A and B are shown apart, each in its own frame.
Chain A
Amino acid sequence: MPLYHTEDQAMLADSARGFMAEEGNISKQLRHWRDRNCKDGFGHGLWKQMAEMGFTGMLVSEDDGGLGMGHVEAGIVLEEIGRNLTPSPFLTSSVLAATALGHASSDLKGRYLPGLIEGESVFAVAIDETAKHRPSRIGTRAEKSGNGFKLSGSKSFVIQGASSDMIVVAARTSGSDEDEDGITLFAVPQDADGMSQNPVRLVDSSMASHIKFDGVELDGDAVIGEVDGGREVLNAMLAAGRVGAAAEGVGVAQGAMDMTVDYLKQRKQFGKLIGEFQALQHRAAHLYSEVEVARAATIKAQQLLDEGAPSADLMTSVAKAKVAKAAGLAVKEGVQMHGGIGMTDEYDIGLYMKRDRALAEFLGDAYFHANRVAQLSGY
């Protein structure tokens, strides 16, 4: 598979780009909802429109009513989301939760997937229990109780947790906290008794919940996949989410870089366009190179994941880490090269910096993934 988009994918990219620039742009979405202190941090109207575009169910199989597309296609949509800083449940619902639900019983699929595909439902995933991503450790417990389970423990930084109709929760059904085995995934409805959420607003205006489960009773059919065998599904979900976050990060980087390069061509100081100064030219050219390399790593990871290649896991961590570094550079250079105006709330470049910070942390930062690259490579 060559490392560029096929004709069909290029067409999808064109329509996603047009749609997101028109409907998902910063003034219509991010600033609009932020300035109204929206409790969800995103607009349900846009989510509905994304369903009409066919985006919401793109990773859902055709048998289950979706489009049966792959990570390259989901990445195309995510890049445009990143470029426009569009707040939406796409990454959590259509990528992470959809991947988990792909392993669910037909009963669970029937309950949740139509709502996702129609843009009616929003899902969240609850994995982390600490401020740093550490999915090897799952302490939240689900004890057998009657025909079902009783869920106890807590999860932190669950993105859009309070806005979701259902939350995919990774819990421990056997073993100790650090064990590989003994994990089970559950589909927990928003209205479950004993679940309490404490939503907090994050730096990028998105909402995340700290969730407590106090003996939440779940039916046996809330289980996604196999009891005690959830690690595999969790890993599939993480891989999809990480490669998706990388794609969104490429969009954030590109958006910030484009803004900055435009600014270099307009802003005059000392009687010259600042883009004429070699000190800035070299930094801009270095930034361009880093973003291109990050983009290449991302499409490579998407393709390997779609092929089910053994090296997909390694490349996914390479992409997540590389994008975090490149996008981090893009937003830092962006703010610095804009000078004073870059520090104002009125100007958009700072919004890129905030989104990048949240995205870089989500599902493991550059250091987490560099460490993983070393571990997967045997050192």
Chain B
Amino acid sequence: MSDLEKFRAETREWLEANCPEEMRQPVREDDDVYWGGRNATFKNDAQKAWFEAARDKGYTVPSWPKEYGGAGLSPAEAKILRQEMAAIGARPPLSSFGIWMLGPALLKFGTEGQKKRFLNEIARGEIRWCQGYSEPGSGSDLVSMQTYGEDKGDHWIVNGQKIWTSYADKADWIFCLVRTNKDDKYKGITFMLFDMAGEGVSTKPILLISGNSPFCETFMDNVKVPKSYGEDCPGYVGEINRGWDVAKYLLGHEREMISGMGGGDRLTAIGTAMTRHAAKNGDEIDPVLRSEMALFDVDALAFTAMAEKFMDEMKAGKGHPAQPNMMKYVGTEINKRRHELMMSAGGSRSLEWESEETRGGKAPRDWLRTKANSIEGGTSEVMLNVISKRILELPGG
């Protein structure tokens, strides 16, 4: 048996022993997802057991090094773990912007002291992070942001407002882009880390068309951000005034993550589930709708192959650096189309906004939520700009 086969066998055994049956069901409610943090509570014992087992094994962040709370898996091993988890439908034991975004940035740009402290906290789900990028007036044109940090020697005094800070009302800390030099658009931004319990930070949820509010406005009123949290642990990532490098790197990660929502790695046609679901309720799928679903499935299954190819190429260092923009563009457009079709397949039932049977109008709320996919993390139009400039090398500003 090769090492990888052995690893697969062990992983299967470990999952069998440690992933409770209840954690092998699709995520249905918001609290089916465990986000960690200072004030986190578990929905049930199974969620707690699964999280703790995964945390102790380093499987909340499988490919991070062991000294930072990961399991130190090689890319091939991490792929096997993903496949085995997908095979039993296991939920992620911990979801967090720390894992998806800040972690990768710290791994690349952080000091040893920052890695030791923050990566371990993230891996153990102790601190819940949110991301402070966009501002009113600075959406996809992020570098036009105005939030300002005045240099006071050993600290900054930060004033300004962020918007679209996902789950800011539930987060403990924020990684935040702050202008520290007003003269240089790009080389005047610092990537700061600070505690949201500190004085001067307040948040307000933004009610969306979906009727939910995962997003917030975040206000900073004379917030004191230390330049250091102790030895070798600065209060910012990368260099002062060079936070744009970190942000750019991170946006790449965000785009991969959002594009992944249209993907998954199983060859499953959506039309099957939609048709079955309709039939169960005594509805008939119109032949024209069926053909729309079939054409959609062609695109979605082809994109699944693209997502797999993209991951394989990234791991081998073969991908074009702007390829995540293409993935984000295609993945989010597909996800929107998927939810349009689901609304059609569900008929009038998809219109129910509040009922137990529809789990509180999940279908229409999810449908409306997907409309943000091609806006958040850079709009589809910005993605197309990047593709045309950086991949196709088309001319002009």
Contacts and interface: CB of A to CB of B under 8 A. Distances in A.
A114 B290 CA distance: 47
Nearest to A323: B302
A284 interface: yes
Interface string B255-283: 00000000000011101101110000000
B392 A314 contact: no
Contacts of A319: 302
A325 B298 contact: yes
Contact of A289 (B274, B294, B329, B394): B329
B308 A272 contact: no
Interface in A310-324: 311, 314-315, 317-319, 321-322
A277 B269 CA distance: 38
- Chain A interface size, as a band, is 35 or more
A318 B302 CA distance: 6
A282 B305 contact: no
Main secondary structure on A side of the interface with B:
helix
Contacts of A314: 267, 269, 301
Contacts, number: 150
Contacts of A318: 297-298, 301-302, 305
Contacts of B385: 278, 281-282, 285
Contacts of A273: 395-396
A118 B392 CA distance: 41
Interface stretch (B25-33, B155-163, B188-196, B311-319): B311-319
B330 A379 contact: no
B394 A265 contact: yes
Contacts of A264: 394
B309 A299 contact: yes
Contacts of B295: 321, 366, 370
Contacts of B78: none
A377 B272 contact: yes
B301 A373 contact: yes
A284 B293 CA distance: 26
Contacts of B309: 3-4, 296, 299-300
Main secondary structure on B side of the interface with A:
helix
A379 B301 CA distance: 15
A2 interface: yes
Contacts of A275: 394-396
B387 interface: yes
A276 interface: yes
Contact of B318 (A4, A280, A289, A378): A4
Given A4-B318, A273-B395, A379-B293, A289 B272 contact: no
Interface of A: 2-4, 261, 264-265, 272-273, 275-278, 280-282, 284-286, 288-289, 292-294, 296-297, 299-300, 311, 314-315, 317-319, 321-322, 325, 366-367, 369-371, 373-374, 377-379
Interface of B: 267-269, 271-272, 274-276, 285, 290-291, 293-295, 297-299, 301-303, 305-306, 308-310, 312-313, 315-316, 318, 326, 329-330, 381, 383-385, 387-389, 391-396
23 contacts: A2-B315, A3-B313, A264-B394, A275-B394, A281-B384, A281-B394, A285-B326, A285-B387, A288-B392, A292-B326, A293-B306, A296-B310, A297-B302, A315-B267, A315-B305, A317-B298, A369-B298, A373-B294, A373-B301, A374-B291, A377-B271, A377-B297, A379-B271
